[in-house]
């Protein structure tokens, strides 16, 4: 019996998946939540075999959550189930240790195939993700993201892309405006970008934020 958790910020999707999988042979849902920080506590208390993770989560972005979970529970098998996919994002989650990635547009049966495979320690990718993987292989440079961006820099990048001002970011993260400016300058240097618009486009490319038309 594989024990799994679902980390999904959309309550309806989270509850529907838990309900649909309640009768699935060989699987037992031991918890659900909709926040990245809550997911860390949930994993620590339930010790699941498999974690189903969305990418765009409040509290802690899905990629950062994946990295933290794999550090504390290296045997945890992770399936990404997201409405957003891009070559850069796929590269990140694979590098961080996810065994599978199924796009939400693929539907429940495709999701179940992915869960079965990942639960057995195999890799699995949905149709759209498989197509993007080909792009990653053929054009590796276009899908690269710097591995040396820190968790704090990623937090600030997300907030910058969401149009928060320096003062707002400082208040939200409880740091000084100067520290925010320093992190933004460091990110621009690392990413070879020169303005906020470019940072925003990069945040969209790696799945930190979603285009308004995709919401």
Query: Which whole number is the average pLDDT over 157-176?
Result: 91
Q: What is the pTM of this model?
A: 0.73
Highest mean pLDDT among 3-7, 20-24, 125-129: 3-7
Place of tokens 């759209």: 128
Place of tokens 């440079």: 141
Above 50 in pLDDT, residue 166?
Answer: yes
Mean pLDDT score of the chain: 86
Above 90 in pLDDT, residue 100?
Answer: yes
**What is the C-alpha separation between 58 and 190, in angstroms, rounded?**
25
Domains with residue ranges and CATH for the chain: 2-141 (3.40.50.2300), 151-214 (1.10.10.10)
Query: Which whole number is the average pLDDT over 20-41?
Result: 91
Q: What is the pLDDT of residues 48-98, one digit of tens each?
A: 999 999 988 887 888 889 999 999 999 999 999 988 777 878 888 888 899
Q: What interhelical angle do 196-205 and 151-161 show, nearest 10? A: 110
Residue 136's pLDDT band (cuts 50, 70, 90)? low
pLDDT of res. 84: 79
Given CA atoms 211, 175, 198, 190 in this order, what sign does their dihedral have? negative
Q: CA 126 from chain center: how many Å?
A: 16
């Amino acid at each position: 019996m594989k024990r799994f958790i679902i980390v999904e910020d959309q309550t309806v999707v989270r509850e529907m998946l838990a309900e649909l999988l309640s009768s699935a042979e060989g699987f037992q849902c031991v918890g659900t939540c909709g926040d990245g920080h809550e997911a860390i506590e949930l994993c620590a208390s339930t010790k699941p075999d498999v974690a189903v993770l969305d990418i765009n989560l409040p509290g802690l972005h899905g990629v950062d959550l994946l990295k933290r979970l794999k550090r504390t529970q290296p045997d945890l098998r992770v399936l990404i189930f997201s409405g957003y996919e891009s070559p850069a994002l796929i590269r990140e989650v694979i590098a961080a240790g996810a065994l599978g990635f199924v796009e939400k547009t693929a539907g429940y049966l495709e999701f179940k195939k992915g869960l079965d495979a990942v639960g057995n320690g195999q890799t699995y990718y949905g149709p759209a993700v498989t197509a993007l993987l080909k792009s990653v292989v053929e054009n590796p440079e276009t899908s690269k993201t710097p591995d040396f961006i820190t968790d704090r820099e990623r937090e600030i990048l997300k907030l910058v892309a969401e149009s928060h001002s320096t003062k707002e970011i400082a208040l939200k993260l409880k740091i000084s405006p100067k520290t925010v400016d320093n992190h933004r300058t460091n990110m621009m240097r690392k990413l070879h970008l020169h303005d906020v618009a470019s940072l925003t486009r990069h945040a969209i490319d790696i799945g930190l934020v979603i285009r308004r038309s995709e919401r």
